[in-house]
Amino acid sequence: MTDKQKFFWFATLLLLIALGYGLWREKGSRQPSAAEDPFVGITIPADLDDATRARLQTDIDDKKKMYAEKPDIWETWIAIGGLKYSLNDYDGAIEAYKKSLAITPNNILGLRNIAEVYRLGIKDYKQAASYYRLAIKNNFSDPDLYIQLAQISQYQLKDNSAAEKTIMEGMVKLGNDRSLLGALINFYESTGNRPKYEETVRRLRAAFPDVEQYQEAWIDVK
Protein backbone atom coordinates (compact mmCIF):
# COMPACT_ATOMS: atom_id res chain seq x y z
CA MET A 1 0.00 0.00 0.00
CA THR A 2 1.41 3.37 -0.99
CA ASP A 3 1.74 6.29 1.38
CA LYS A 4 -1.07 8.04 -0.47
CA GLN A 5 -3.38 5.07 0.02
CA LYS A 6 -2.45 4.83 3.71
CA PHE A 7 -3.21 8.51 4.16
CA PHE A 8 -6.59 8.08 2.43
CA TRP A 9 -7.65 5.17 4.65
CA PHE A 10 -6.42 6.92 7.77
CA ALA A 11 -8.41 10.06 6.90
CA THR A 12 -11.50 7.95 6.18
CA LEU A 13 -11.16 6.21 9.55
CA LEU A 14 -10.90 9.54 11.38
CA LEU A 15 -14.00 10.78 9.57
CA LEU A 16 -16.01 7.69 10.54
CA ILE A 17 -14.91 8.02 14.17
CA ALA A 18 -15.92 11.69 14.19
CA LEU A 19 -19.32 10.92 12.66
CA GLY A 20 -19.94 8.10 15.11
CA TYR A 21 -19.01 10.30 18.05
CA GLY A 22 -21.32 13.04 16.78
CA LEU A 23 -24.25 10.64 16.47
CA TRP A 24 -23.56 9.27 19.95
CA ARG A 25 -23.50 12.78 21.40
CA GLU A 26 -26.73 13.68 19.63
CA LYS A 27 -28.50 10.55 20.81
CA GLY A 28 -27.34 11.07 24.36
CA SER A 29 -28.37 14.71 24.51
CA ARG A 30 -31.72 14.70 22.71
CA GLN A 31 -35.01 14.10 24.48
CA PRO A 32 -36.90 10.86 23.70
CA SER A 33 -39.87 11.17 21.34
CA ALA A 34 -43.43 10.20 22.19
CA ALA A 35 -42.97 7.09 20.04
CA GLU A 36 -40.09 6.02 22.29
CA ASP A 37 -41.63 7.13 25.59
CA PRO A 38 -45.46 7.40 25.80
CA PHE A 39 -45.19 9.72 28.79
CA VAL A 40 -43.32 12.46 26.94
CA GLY A 41 -45.37 15.64 27.02
CA ILE A 42 -47.79 14.47 29.69
CA THR A 43 -48.55 17.35 32.04
CA ILE A 44 -51.20 17.98 34.65
CA PRO A 45 -53.22 21.16 33.99
CA ALA A 46 -52.23 23.91 36.41
CA ASP A 47 -55.79 25.11 37.00
CA LEU A 48 -56.91 21.94 38.79
CA ASP A 49 -57.42 21.74 42.54
CA ASP A 50 -54.80 20.03 44.70
CA ALA A 51 -56.83 16.86 45.26
CA THR A 52 -57.41 16.34 41.53
CA ARG A 53 -53.77 17.04 40.73
CA ALA A 54 -52.68 14.52 43.37
CA ARG A 55 -55.05 11.89 41.97
CA LEU A 56 -53.79 12.44 38.42
CA GLN A 57 -50.18 12.29 39.55
CA THR A 58 -50.85 8.96 41.25
CA ASP A 59 -52.48 7.73 38.05
CA ILE A 60 -49.47 8.82 35.99
CA ASP A 61 -47.06 7.13 38.40
CA ASP A 62 -49.09 3.90 38.31
CA LYS A 63 -49.13 3.83 34.51
CA LYS A 64 -45.39 4.53 34.33
CA LYS A 65 -44.76 1.59 36.65
CA MET A 66 -47.01 -0.63 34.56
CA TYR A 67 -45.21 0.43 31.39
CA ALA A 68 -41.79 -0.17 32.96
CA GLU A 69 -42.80 -3.68 34.04
CA LYS A 70 -44.94 -4.81 31.10
CA PRO A 71 -44.52 -2.59 28.03
CA ASP A 72 -45.48 -5.31 25.55
CA ILE A 73 -48.96 -6.31 26.70
CA TRP A 74 -52.12 -4.76 25.28
CA GLU A 75 -53.55 -3.99 28.73
CA THR A 76 -50.69 -1.57 29.41
CA TRP A 77 -51.55 0.46 26.33
CA ILE A 78 -55.24 0.47 27.17
CA ALA A 79 -54.28 1.96 30.56
CA ILE A 80 -52.00 4.56 28.94
CA GLY A 81 -54.78 5.46 26.51
CA GLY A 82 -57.19 5.96 29.40
CA LEU A 83 -54.70 8.24 31.15
CA LYS A 84 -54.21 10.37 28.04
CA TYR A 85 -57.94 10.59 27.47
CA SER A 86 -58.43 11.83 31.05
CA LEU A 87 -55.92 14.61 30.27
CA ASN A 88 -57.78 15.51 27.04
CA ASP A 89 -54.93 14.24 24.87
CA TYR A 90 -57.28 12.60 22.38
CA ASP A 91 -54.71 11.97 19.66
CA GLY A 92 -52.37 10.42 22.23
CA ALA A 93 -55.18 8.23 23.55
CA ILE A 94 -56.01 6.94 20.08
CA GLU A 95 -52.34 6.26 19.39
CA ALA A 96 -52.09 4.23 22.61
CA TYR A 97 -55.25 2.27 21.86
CA LYS A 98 -53.96 1.53 18.36
CA LYS A 99 -50.75 0.24 19.95
CA SER A 100 -52.88 -2.15 22.02
CA LEU A 101 -54.49 -3.35 18.79
CA ALA A 102 -51.09 -3.84 17.17
CA ILE A 103 -50.24 -6.19 20.03
CA THR A 104 -53.63 -7.94 20.19
CA PRO A 105 -55.70 -7.10 17.09
CA ASN A 106 -58.99 -8.52 18.35
CA ASN A 107 -59.09 -6.80 21.74
CA ILE A 108 -62.51 -5.20 21.92
CA LEU A 109 -61.49 -2.55 24.44
CA GLY A 110 -59.05 -1.03 21.98
CA LEU A 111 -61.68 -0.72 19.25
CA ARG A 112 -64.42 0.42 21.59
CA ASN A 113 -62.25 2.99 23.33
CA ILE A 114 -61.14 4.51 20.01
CA ALA A 115 -64.80 4.77 19.05
CA GLU A 116 -65.53 6.52 22.34
CA VAL A 117 -62.68 9.01 21.87
CA TYR A 118 -64.01 9.91 18.43
CA ARG A 119 -67.58 10.11 19.74
CA LEU A 120 -67.12 11.96 23.03
CA GLY A 121 -63.76 13.71 22.64
CA ILE A 122 -63.05 14.57 19.03
CA LYS A 123 -66.73 14.38 17.98
CA ASP A 124 -65.90 12.78 14.65
CA TYR A 125 -69.02 10.63 14.43
CA LYS A 126 -68.22 8.93 11.13
CA GLN A 127 -64.94 7.67 12.54
CA ALA A 128 -66.67 6.64 15.76
CA ALA A 129 -69.23 4.67 13.77
CA SER A 130 -66.52 2.90 11.77
CA TYR A 131 -64.79 1.72 14.94
CA TYR A 132 -68.06 0.55 16.51
CA ARG A 133 -68.60 -1.53 13.36
CA LEU A 134 -65.13 -3.04 13.74
CA ALA A 135 -65.88 -3.80 17.38
CA ILE A 136 -69.14 -5.53 16.42
CA LYS A 137 -67.30 -7.54 13.80
CA ASN A 138 -64.93 -8.79 16.50
CA ASN A 139 -67.58 -9.25 19.20
CA PHE A 140 -71.11 -9.52 17.83
CA SER A 141 -72.55 -10.63 21.19
CA ASP A 142 -72.34 -7.26 23.00
CA PRO A 143 -75.71 -5.47 22.68
CA ASP A 144 -74.26 -2.16 23.86
CA LEU A 145 -72.13 -1.91 20.72
CA TYR A 146 -75.22 -2.08 18.50
CA ILE A 147 -77.06 0.44 20.67
CA GLN A 148 -74.21 2.96 20.68
CA LEU A 149 -73.75 2.66 16.93
CA ALA A 150 -77.49 3.06 16.38
CA GLN A 151 -77.58 6.17 18.56
CA ILE A 152 -74.75 7.77 16.58
CA SER A 153 -76.54 6.92 13.33
CA GLN A 154 -79.82 8.41 14.56
CA TYR A 155 -78.77 11.49 16.50
CA GLN A 156 -75.42 12.56 15.07
CA LEU A 157 -75.41 11.21 11.51
CA LYS A 158 -79.18 11.70 11.07
CA ASP A 159 -79.60 8.33 9.41
CA ASN A 160 -82.67 6.66 10.90
CA SER A 161 -82.56 3.82 8.41
CA ALA A 162 -79.03 2.87 9.46
CA ALA A 163 -79.98 3.14 13.14
CA GLU A 164 -82.92 0.75 12.76
CA LYS A 165 -80.87 -1.62 10.62
CA THR A 166 -78.14 -1.76 13.28
CA ILE A 167 -80.54 -2.69 16.08
CA MET A 168 -82.25 -5.28 13.90
CA GLU A 169 -78.86 -6.74 13.00
CA GLY A 170 -78.16 -7.13 16.69
CA MET A 171 -81.48 -8.88 17.23
CA VAL A 172 -80.75 -11.30 14.41
CA LYS A 173 -77.53 -12.22 16.19
CA LEU A 174 -78.81 -12.09 19.78
CA GLY A 175 -82.51 -12.80 19.55
CA ASN A 176 -84.90 -11.10 21.97
CA ASP A 177 -82.23 -9.28 23.92
CA ARG A 178 -83.98 -6.96 26.39
CA SER A 179 -81.51 -4.11 25.86
CA LEU A 180 -81.95 -4.21 22.10
CA LEU A 181 -85.73 -4.46 22.38
CA GLY A 182 -85.73 -1.47 24.72
CA ALA A 183 -83.53 0.49 22.28
CA LEU A 184 -85.87 -0.41 19.43
CA ILE A 185 -88.90 0.77 21.43
CA ASN A 186 -87.17 4.08 22.12
CA PHE A 187 -86.21 4.39 18.46
CA TYR A 188 -89.75 3.88 17.18
CA GLU A 189 -91.17 6.21 19.84
CA SER A 190 -88.67 8.97 19.00
CA THR A 191 -89.29 8.64 15.26
CA GLY A 192 -93.07 8.58 15.61
CA ASN A 193 -93.59 5.08 14.22
CA ARG A 194 -96.57 4.18 16.38
CA PRO A 195 -97.42 0.76 14.88
CA LYS A 196 -93.81 -0.48 15.21
CA TYR A 197 -93.57 1.04 18.68
CA GLU A 198 -96.61 -0.89 19.93
CA GLU A 199 -95.53 -4.08 18.16
CA THR A 200 -92.09 -3.97 19.82
CA VAL A 201 -93.52 -3.26 23.28
CA ARG A 202 -95.74 -6.33 22.93
CA ARG A 203 -92.78 -8.36 21.70
CA LEU A 204 -90.76 -7.39 24.77
CA ARG A 205 -93.62 -8.28 27.10
CA ALA A 206 -94.13 -11.63 25.38
CA ALA A 207 -90.42 -12.43 25.54
CA PHE A 208 -90.23 -11.65 29.28
CA PRO A 209 -93.67 -12.42 30.73
CA ASP A 210 -92.35 -12.78 34.26
CA VAL A 211 -90.81 -9.31 34.40
CA GLU A 212 -93.51 -7.24 36.06
CA GLN A 213 -91.80 -3.97 35.13
CA TYR A 214 -92.27 -4.70 31.44
CA GLN A 215 -95.92 -5.59 31.88
CA GLU A 216 -96.65 -2.33 33.70
CA ALA A 217 -94.49 0.04 31.64
CA TRP A 218 -95.68 1.77 28.45
CA ILE A 219 -99.19 2.23 29.80
CA ASP A 220 -100.21 3.68 26.44
CA VAL A 221 -99.86 0.21 24.88
CA LYS A 222 -102.48 -2.41 25.72
| pLDDT band at residue 30 under the 50/70/90 scheme | very low
More confident residue, 32 or 182: 182
pLDDT of residue 36: 72
Quote the pTM value.
0.81
The residue-averaged pLDDT of 200-211 equals 96
Report the alpha-carbon distance of residue 134 to residue 140 in Å, rounded. 10
What is the pLDDT at residue 9?
A: 52
Closest-CA residue to 140 (of 172, 165, 97, 113): 172
Give the separation between CA 209 and CA 190, rounded to whole angstroms. Answer: 25
User: For 50-89, how does the pLDDT look when each residue is reduced to its tens digit (9 = 90+)?
Assistant: 999 999 999 999 999 999 999 999 999 999 999 999 999 9
- The domains found in the chain, sorted by start residue, are 47-125 (1.25.40.10), 140-222 (1.25.40)
User: Checking phi first, is residue 31 left (phi over 0); if not, alpha (psi -120 to 50) or beta?
Assistant: beta
Which tens digit of pLDDT belongs to each residue from 88-144? 999 999 999 999 999 999 899 999 999 999 999 999 999 999 999 999 999 999 999
Q: What is the pLDDT of residues 148-166, one digit of tens each?
A: 999 999 999 999 999 999 9
CA dihedral 5→8→12→18, nearest 10 degrees, is 140
